[in-house]
Amino acid sequence: MATDTIIEVKGLEARYGELAVLENVTFDVFKGEILVILGGSGCGKSTLLRHMSGLTEPTAGRVYIDNVDITSCDEERFQETLRKIGILFQSSALLGSMTVAENVALPIIEYTELSNSAVNNLVRMKLSMVDLQNYENFLPSEISGGMKKRAGLARSLALNPKILFLDEPTAGLDPVAAAEIDALIKHLNEQTGTTMVIVTHDLESIFGVAHRIIMLDKDKKGIIATGDPQLLKDESMDENVQHFFKREPRVAPYVLEEILDGFN
């Protein structure tokens, strides 16, 4: 795995009105790695992903992608940099009135001047990469949840991005479909060298695909751990890290009993 930096997050702060979600978050992402962002509900995982991918402007701080500061560059440079990025949204965000092939073709048509035949060939190639080569003419409503994720992944790969951002890629899938998505992510990373930043709380996915993780905490409003997930599970002395990896409640059992008694 390469160690050259491709994304730099420096002193990032994210607020919604008066509510601070993230404060002074700083870390790097290396070329070719799969970095997983994890943490409990409400800790700012998806918020961080949106800021890193340029969908939301931070309250403070900087985000550099391939040495370009996307928080301060001009619009032309910003759009040029965005073409190096692919995004898989949690819902897959496929347009229901379009076929799978038409969904994948959208960014190609928008950002290139390829002929129709070239677009069609590229779409077929991307669908083949995610094992959907026989589903070009299906509508999103006609395919399974796992297939929708793969179609969304094919669309995110349409412009051969250097970086993929994936928000909860296995959310809502059964264990078999989730394992297939994990295997596909790992395979694509190995075959293409694409850098991947993934938000997930799925422990199977974390241990299955992550080269490195950063863990966020809602109370600390930032990073509380970073490194190899297995080492953190086995060796971290941070209680919040241990609670997460061991699926232990952060509230003491006797407190939970008192809470439950209140409903009786």
Write down the domain spans for the chain: 5-84+162-261, 93-160
Q: Which residues pair with 16 in a beta bridge?
A: 19
Task: Calculate mean pLDDT across residues 96-111.
Answer: 93
Q: State residue 264's pLDDT score.
A: 55
Stronger pLDDT, 178 or 257, i.e. the higher one? 178
**Strand-pair category, 34-39 with 195-199:** parallel
CA 162 from chain centre, in angstroms, equals 14
The CATH architecture to which 5-84+162-261 belongs is: 3-Layer(aba) Sandwich (3.40)
In the predicted model, is pLDDT for residue 254 greater than 60?
no
Rounded Cα distance, 165 and 29, in Å: 12
In the predicted model, is pLDDT for residue 256 greater than 80?
no
Q: State residue 93's pLDDT score.
A: 85
Please, what is the average pLDDT of the chain? 90
pTM, full prediction: 0.88
Q: State residue 1's pLDDT score.
A: 43
Q: Are 108 and 114 in contact (CB under 8 A)?
A: yes
Q: How many CA atoms lie within 13 A of 53 on its CB side?
A: 25
Q: State residue 251's pLDDT score.
A: 58
What are 234's two structure tokens? 């086995």
Rounded Cα distance, 109 and 98, in Å: 14
